[in-house]
Amino acid sequence: MYESKAVSSALIAMWVLFGMAAWATPLMPEPRCLVASEFALAGLRIGDPVEKAIEKLGEPSKQTQAFDEYYIDDVTSWAYDDILVTTSSSGRVLMLSTTSPSTSTPSGIHPGLTADELSRLLGHNINDKAKRTVGIQFFGCAPNGGVIVGQMMSLKFNHDGNLQEIRLFHIADLPPAMGLEILANSPPWVLVVVLTVMVAHFSLVIMAFRQRLWWGLGCLLFPLPTDAVFAIMHWRKVGFLFLIAALGVVLLYFGK
């Protein structure tokens, strides 16, 4: 009897402690950074298989398929009453978007919230930001601090400053036009790092063309493997450029 009471007391204590820890964890630990658990709508996340969407949402009211020139892929739009699910030809979720007040993130962020209500949920005042810009983009928070640049949430507001639309996507799958829009609204350090990586990469490409035509074409068309091979073979000339570009990519991905 005493053992069962002890076990029950321990379980209750653990439940209280976990509840307090969850309550104490802010949704927005850093500017432009939301906890990873927030990147879900209607129980779906980017990268989930389309079967999971059907399992959770049922058959869509409308389904359209077309070749997307931005994604360079055949994408399918699954229209539901409260959410739009975009999937790739491989059957994975590319983007989730909603304008319905009945669809929310796990913490309760949903279209229709005022800027003040959203500020209270986030623990940060975004009232002025919401009224003077078209939208706000958030990255995912890395477990060890900083941000995960690849994970993105976009919040769009109407003229009254109320939340109008939520979009979830991964920047690696992002159409270029939308990528430029998000980059323009990114923190200054992201712009600096992106520009630095671009300068380092194209400087390496120029050095490669000076060495051999096929080296230049390889670095220009297939940068990931060719840059590394060319840098190793000509380390004294271009090693520092490769290190700068590689370090920049690491900073962008892990948000250190």
Per-residue pLDDT of the chain (256 residues; tens, 9 = 90+): 444 444 444 444 443 433 433 444 567 776 677 888 888 999 999 889 989 989 999 999 999 988 876 666 788 999 999 999 999 888 889 899 999 999 999 999 999 999 889 888 888 787 765 555 557 888 887 766 666 666 788 898 888 888 999 999 876 555 555 555 556 656 677 778 888 888 888 888 888 888 888 898 888 888 878 888 999 999 988 888 889 988 888 877 665 4
Please name which of 159, 152, 113, 112 lies closest in space to residue 134, comparing C-alpha atoms: 159
Strand partners, 121: none
The residue range of the domain holding 96 is 30-186
Residues 160 and 228 in one domain: no
Which of 186, 213, 228 terminates a domain? The answer is 186
pLDDT given at position 176? 52
**Predicted pLDDT of residue 136:** 82
Q: State the number of CA atoms in the 13 A half-sphere of 209 facing the CB.
A: 8
Query: What are phi and psi for residue 55, nearest 5 degrees?
Result: -65, -40
Identify whether 1 is part of a domain.
Answer: no
Domain-located, residue 18: no
Domain match, 54 and 136 both:
yes
Q: Are strands 84-87 and 93-98 parallel, antiparallel or unpaired?
A: antiparallel
Same-domain status, 86 and 157: yes
Number of domains in the chain: 2
The predicted pLDDT at position 21 comes to 39
Q: Quick one: 123 and 45 in the same domain?
A: yes
Tokens describing residue 6: 């002890």
Residue 19 lies in a domain: no
Q: Hey, is 238 helix, strand or coil?
A: helix
pTM, two decimals, is 0.59
In a domain, 136, yes or no: yes
How is residue 160 written in tokens? 């009254």
Task: Tell me, yes or no, whether 221 and 238 share the same domain.
Answer: yes
Asked if residue 15 belongs to a domain, the reply is: no
Last residue of a domain, one of 186, 209, 242: 186
Contact by Cβ (8 Å): 84, 97: yes
Tell me what pLDDT residue 6 has. 47
> Is residue 151 within 8 Å of residue 37, measured between CB atoms?
no
End-to-end CA, the chain: 52
Residue 241 belongs to a domain: yes
Determine, yes or no, domain membership for 54: yes
150: nearest Cα among 173, 123, 170, 121: 170
Rg (CA), the chain: 23
- Collapse the DSSP code of 81 into the 3-class scheme (helix H, G, I; strand E, B; otherwise coil) and give the result: coil
